[in-house]
Amino acid sequence: KGPRTPLSLEQVQQLQGCVGDRVKVHYTPVDHGSFEVVLDAFMASDRMRHLDAQMHRELFEEITFPDCGDDMQEGIDVRTLELSSKDQRMIRVLQRDDAVQLLSELDVGHRLGEGTRKSLLASSGIVTVGISGAGTFEDFVEGGIALEQVWLTATMLGLRMQPWTPLFGYTHSRSELSQMIGPSRCSELYPKGQAALDVLGLKDHKYVFSFRVHQGSPHTAISERHKPVMRSVGST
């Protein structure tokens, strides 16, 4: 977690200037008047991600724990999440399928989003990347290239970036979101997501990605994940 120091105008301009004309890079500071709308949507999204059995399983399949004999060259090293001692204990509880399933059956677990609130407020805000167009495959390829440019530029500027993509960012319509999380949860999350995307500056753009950004000290843990193996075209 880092200080709430807002990005400077020069920093924002450099992030916005590193991409093409079709790409929009929007910075929303935590002291924005409507930041609570974003918090509400992101908290609801993360809570639903935990309470859905399949998404919960997929989430924790990606996280590796050094004290459990996991292969630390694969997945997301839990140490790189920079969790407090309290949060480290909590993630062990949330890792258990039976505990989360009980919360879902009892329709409780509303506090599962509190970690999201705490983390987002302990930052400089959210940087969101969007792209104009109809949302074709080619559009999102261009958007993916752009988000890499934003990430590299932020790193050059000494900023710390943490990916934070809500469930409604993966879908383009209410029906798609309903298929992902079910009609009941969709009826809650969809309007919150649309309101948040407006605040994040993407009313007229397709969502690509979002980052929690801050200007704190360097990370204390470095991932041990394998470096990608580059192969030439036609190699085996």
- The overall average pLDDT reported for the chain is 84
CA dist 197 and 214 (Å) reads 20
**Percentage above 70 pLDDT, the chain:** 85
pTM: 0.80
Spatial separation of the C-alpha atoms in residues 1 and 122, rounded to whole Å:
6
3-state helix, strand, coil in the chain (%, to 5): 50, 15, 35
Q: How far apart are CA 9 and CA 166, in angstroms?
A: 26
- Tell me the pLDDT tens digit for each residue of 76-120: 777 777 777 777 777 777 777 777 677 666 665 667 788 889 889
How far apart (Å, rounded) are the C-alpha atoms in residues 6 and 32? Answer: 10
Query: What three-state secondary structure class fits 150?
Result: helix
Distance separating alpha carbons of residues 119 and 103, to the nearest angstrom: 22
pLDDT, tens digit, for every residue of 215-231? 866 666 665 655 555 44
pLDDT in tens, 38-80: 999 999 999 888 888 788 777 777 778 777 777 777 777 777 7
Q: How many CA atoms lie within 13 A of 137 on its CB side?
A: 0
Residue 236 confidence (pLDDT) above 60: no
Give the model's confidence band at 233: pLDDT under 50 very low, under 70 low, under 90 confident, else very high: very low
Write down the pLDDT at residue 91: 73
The answer, yes or no, to whether residue 156 has pLDDT greater than 50, is: yes
User: Per-residue pLDDT tens for 163-192?
Assistant: 899 999 989 899 999 999 999 999 999 999
* Rounded-to-integer distance, Cα 215 and Cα 157, Å: 9
Q: How many beta carbons lie within 10 A of that of residue 77, not counting itself? A: 19
pLDDT per position as a tens digit, 13-29: 999 999 999 999 999 99
Q: Which DSSP letter does residue 25 get?
A: E
Give, as one character, the DSSP assignment of residue 122.
S
pLDDT at 84: 74
